Amino acid sequence: MDGTDETHHGTHGTAGGSNGKDESVRESKDTNKALPMAGSRGIFGRRRTAKDGDGGEWRTMAGKYLDLLNQFEQFLRVERNLSERTRGAYIYDLTRFQEFITVLHGRTPPLEAVTAEAIREYLNHLQVELAYKSTTLARVISSIRGFFDFAVARGAVDVSPAAQIRTPKQPQKLPIYLVYQELARLLEAPEPDTPAGLRDRAILATLAFTGTRLSEIVGVNLRDLDLLNRTLRVLGKGSKERIIPLNEIIQDAISRYLNVRWLSDSPALFLNKAGKRLTGRSVENIVRKYALKAGIFKDGISPHKLRHTFATLLHASEVDLIEIKALMGHASIASTQIYTHTSNSRLRQAVRKLENLG
């Protein structure tokens, strides 16, 4: 799910948002309000009866669900190479869904007893009683669908009940990005004569001129950098490796940083003052800090917005969408097409070019 990163962090991904917290995750924390009455007929294959055994059997079912959930989390981490935040959004959604169906049925039902109707009941609960937005519902559906696809692949169930669930239509939102002048101010904001300032400028330049994701830049190691050939190797979603060319601005910024980089046994390219690998939260704070210092007050400036900036400026420079897709590491061209948005001023200029024809 290439949309995982965007959906869960946009997301959340989330998946990831302004002030470091995914709005949809904050919204989800109200799920425990107004849980439905237990025992609704038809949500699962049948109502539980005394023949279903004692509480120990149902506790075993709950344990099986949690075991599979742990396996799913490991799958997301190892095979899908998803960030900790995105994995957290998946597990949060699935844990709340399990709590809902447990209350609804009185006990945790076996997975094969969960129906599409049960999932729709949960989504209706989120939308009607908790006023979830369509973007958040889409994230929850993505979590449930991914989990049951995994359950089918592992032989835990024969058919996924989530296959029948349609994702609500999403409102088209243009990405927030920086214009040239704002980007120039951002890159000049760090102090040019301190190790931290040189590191931060190198981080900002790398984000703005390579389009790397937050998880990718914090995962970069020294061995991934080739200044001689001006390339950077990153490991993206699904452990897909790509080689990104570096321009002179990045090359100069990283070279200056490496001259003062803290001594450390860590293989990471970007370190904190303790010589440890920078965390994603630290990089987010760095971007926000210098955006404010540069007088950039656009909503939610973040590493992901710099990724948007990279793609938008490439498109404005008439770089082909296929090439932008490759640089961004998109699995589908559909993810790249959002950067075809055009400003009103450019539209007016295009129309004025036709005036001479009159």
Residue 80 has pLDDT above 50, yes or no: yes
Give the residue with greater pLDDT, 4 vs 104: 104
Which of 319 and 29 is assigned the larger pLDDT? 319
Reported confidence tier of residue 39, pLDDT bands at 50, 70, 90: very low
Percent pLDDT > 70 in the chain is 73
Query: Residues 137-154: what's their mean pLDDT?
Result: 93
Confidence class for position 29, pLDDT limits 50, 70, 90 = very low
Rounded to the nearest angstrom, the gap between the alpha carbon of residue 342 and the centroid of all alpha carbons in its chain is 25
pLDDT digits (tens, 9 = 90+) for 240-287: 888 988 999 999 999 999 999 999 999 999 999 999 999 999 999 999
The answer on pLDDT for 126 being more than 80 is yes
The owner of tokens 């609960």 is 125
| Other Cβ atoms within 10 Å of 144 Cβ, number | 22
**pLDDT above 80 (res 50):** no
Q: Is 207 exposed, middle or buried (0-12, 13-18, 19+ CB in 10 A)?
A: buried
Question: How many CB atoms are closer than 10 A to CB 140?
Answer: 29
- Spatial CA neighbour of 135 closest among 38, 46, 8: 8
Residue 175 has pLDDT above 80, yes or no: no
Nearest to 116 by CA among 167, 163, 166, 161: 161
Question: What's this model's pTM, rounded to 2 decimal places?
Answer: 0.53
Per-residue pLDDT, 16: 35
pLDDT above 50: residue 45: no
- As a whole number of angstroms, the longest Cα–Cα distance in the chain is 86
Averaged pLDDT, 87-111: 87
**Residue of higher predicted confidence among 240 and 291:** 291
Q: Looking at the annotation, which residues are catalytic?
A: 213, 237, 304, 307, 330, 339
CA distance 208 to 203: 9
Question: For the chain, which domains are there?
Answer: 2-164 (1.10.150.130), 180-343 (1.10.443.10)
The vertex-24 CA angle with 342 and 237, nearest 5°, equals 70
